[in-house]
Amino acid sequence: MKTIESDVIIIGGGLTGLMLAYLLNKKKTAITIVEARGELGGRILTKYEHENAPLEMGATWLGKQHAQLMDLLSELELGVFDQELGNKAFYEPISTSPPQLVTLPHNSDPSFRIRGGSFALIKGLATRLEESRMYKNQPVKTITQEEGFLALTSDDYLFKAPLVVSTLPPYLLTQTIKINPALPDAFVKIAAQTHTWMGESIKVGLTYEKPFWRSENSSGTIVSNVGPIPEMYDHSNYEDSFYALKGFLNGVYFSLTKAQRLQLIITQLRKYFGDQVKNYRSYEELIWRNEPFTYKPYQSHVLPHQNNGNPIYRQPYLNGKLFIAGSETSANFPGYMEGAVQSAQYIYQQLEGWLK
C-alpha cells in the first residue's frame, strides 16, 4: 500500500472540499483530496449530452442573498442567469380538481442558475488545483489517530497528515468510516439525526426540440400537491438554444424502475401539455438515496434540514486534528451551495492558525 503524506487531507471532492483546497492552495499548502467517486462534484452533478440542454441532477439554484457564492463565481469568471418562471404556472391543489393555470405575482427575489451548468463551478475550482493531488475512486475506510498525525486508509493508499477535514455529510461519515479513537457519543447521536441534503431527492429532466410550454395559456412552471412531480421548471440553457423541463419526483418512487417513473411523469405532464410531451429527446433522472457515497438510510425519522448547522460540527476532534465541514455543517445557509462555500471558508480560518 503506497503512502501519501500531506499538510492537509480533505475527504470529499465536492464543492466544500474543492473550495477549501482552492483557499489553501493560495497559501502554498500541500493538499490531498481523497474522493470516493470516479468524478469530482459530489452533489453537484450536471448531465451534459450533445445538442441537448444540460440537466442538473443535483444542486441548481442560488439567490442574491448567497453573497459568498456570488463572489466566488465572479472570481472564477462564471456568470449566472435568471431561472425562467414566466408569468403563469400550472397549479394542482387537490386530485379531484383539474390543474389551474394561475398568474404568478411579481418575483422581487429571483433564483439564478450558473451559466454552462452548476458543474462549471466544480470545473472552475478543479482546474486551479494540482490534479496529481486528487485521488479518485478511493473511499476512505479508516481514520486513526497516531502520534502527531492522522492516518487514513483506502483500498490502495495510506494517507498521512497532521490535519484532516471531512466534507462528508455527518451521518455518512459516522456510518462509512471507522474512526479510532471513536468520536464522542454526543457527536454520533447528533449525526444520526442530521438531515443529508439531497439525500431523499429524485431529480428528473426531459429535453425537447422546442419549448412548447412557453406558448400562450401554458407554462413550464408546475406546482402540484397531487404529483408525482411536486415541482417542475423550464430548464433551458443560458443561450436559449436547447430546451428542457426539470424538476423533482416524489421520493417515494425510488423503488420503481426507470421506465415506470418515466411513465408516471409523462402521464402527469400530459394533463398540462397534451401528447407532445411524449416527443422528448432525452430523459435523465438521479435517485440520490441510491448513491452510497451520499446517502445512508436513517435509523429514525429525520426532518428536512434537521440539525443542519448544529454547533457540534464547528469544533475539531481527535486531539484537534479532525475538522468537520460540508454544507450540512454551515452556520449559514446549510443545505445549499452557499452553505458549502461558507463551510469551507470557516474551516480555512480555523486551519490558518495551525498552518502558520
Predicted local distance difference test score (pLDDT) of residue 356: 66
Mean pLDDT of 150-178: 97
State the CATH class of domain 46-66+81-116+200-290: alpha beta
Mean pLDDT of 304-317: 96
Domain boundaries, the chain: 1-44+118-195+299-356, 46-66+81-116+200-290
Q: Is the pLDDT of residue 201 over 90?
A: yes
Predicted local distance difference test score (pLDDT) of residue 178: 98
Q: Does domain 1-44+118-195+299-356 have CATH number 3.50.50.60?
A: yes
Predicted local distance difference test score (pLDDT) of residue 74: 97
With pLDDT > 70 as the criterion, what percentage of the chain qualifies?
100
Q: Report the chain's C-alpha Rg in angstroms.
A: 21
Predicted local distance difference test score (pLDDT) of residue 151: 98
Pick 97 or 171 by higher pLDDT. 171
